[in-house]
A and B are shown apart, each in its own frame.
Chain A
């Protein structure tokens, strides 16, 4: 299991897989003030939501690199031959990919918040929200990545599959910025995240088995 998680981290580090979503995230944060204008109160009010949109789209970027290369390269078959079950592979991928996506994204949110002139308490809410929400986003990316593995032209397909399912994360993540910790938004965000994490190993495992036929 440790070997598999380390392998995921190494793949993410070596191929720019981890870097690309971050650059994308920061790019959106840079462009957003240009789009709505340099109005400080307006930016402070909408910036948090824009960061969540950027995080969501950044999570979508590595979807075709999570499962498909391992399927095509025979890695998944070789693991199965060694008696590693598909659910364990999925858990390793989930942990490995979150480590290369969640914490770096939380770091990138700091300069991104500065670009949007977000107040400090808003940044704090975004950070807590990302900490709770990105594992769920990762789980969703993994499931969609496994479901679309082996298909051609998966980019658009993956987006269509994933974005509607990510709506609850977006609603509660962005809702939390507006209303703070007193409301139930963070609990609901946590609940959605946990649900996706719980479903991911089984859905991913079944999808990996299904694409062998």
Chain B
């Protein structure tokens, strides 16, 4: 099977500073990789390069499937209820939002306005958007930030289910998030 995401010798310069270079990565269906490294080393930037939102200064980035990104920005309209805010994205993805709220345990919050949600609940909503998106490639930037133990378990289960269906997960994180047999990509180690 062909890879969902390929990075070959990618380097990125931002604001006149070399963040990383020589990063290569290949994610097969069912595969996963964890980007680790100290703060400021460019984990989030690499994530955005993989998502196609930033252009790599050098190197090749190939995405062979749609990608879903969960980063620190929830991208949910603050004034809407959570259900309707997620439904906007679900409609663009031609899916039903409920299918993502259930696995993250936020179905009971559907009628709560987004601005009233806590950090952890927001994170769950962001992950719910990724889960329901139907994109084979998940790009998760610090997915476990703000999640409680139960939320982390749900995240782990969702990632495992996604991989068993042939999806791939690329995560940037400091903490163990229960990705089994994931390749590790250490930035700033050299």
B-binding residues in A (CB < 8 A): 3, 7, 10-11, 14-15, 72-75, 77-84, 212-213
Residue with the highest number of chain A CB atoms closer than 10 Å, among B53, B67, B78, B80: B53
A74, B80: Cα distance in complex, Å: 16
Interface size class of B (residues with CB under 8 A): 20 to 34
Bound CA span A80–B69, Å: 11
B51 interface neighbour in A10, A14, A72, A81, Cβ under 8 Å: A81
Q: Are B73 and A74 in contact (CB under 8 A)?
A: yes
**Given A3-B88, A212-B54, A213-B54; A77-B79 close (CB under 8 Å):** no
B interface residues with partner A (beta carbon < 8 Å): 14, 48, 51-54, 66-69, 71-80, 88-89, 91-93, 129
Q: In the assembly, what is the distance between CA of A11 and CA of B14, in Å?
A: 33
Number of A-B contacts (CB under 8 A): 56
Say which residue of A15, A73, A81, A213 sits within 8 Å of B69 (CB atoms): A81
Q: How far is A81 from B53 in the complex, measured between Cα atoms in Å?
A: 8
Is A80 a contact of B52 with CB atoms below 8 Å?
Answer: yes
- Cross-chain contact B73 with A81 (CB below 8 angstroms): no
What's the least CB distance linking A19 to chain B, in Å? 14
In the bound complex, what is the Cα–Cα distance between A78 and B48 (angstroms)?
11
| Separation of A80 and B71 alpha carbons in the complex (Å) | 14
The CA of A83 and the CA of B68, in the complex, are separated in Å by 11
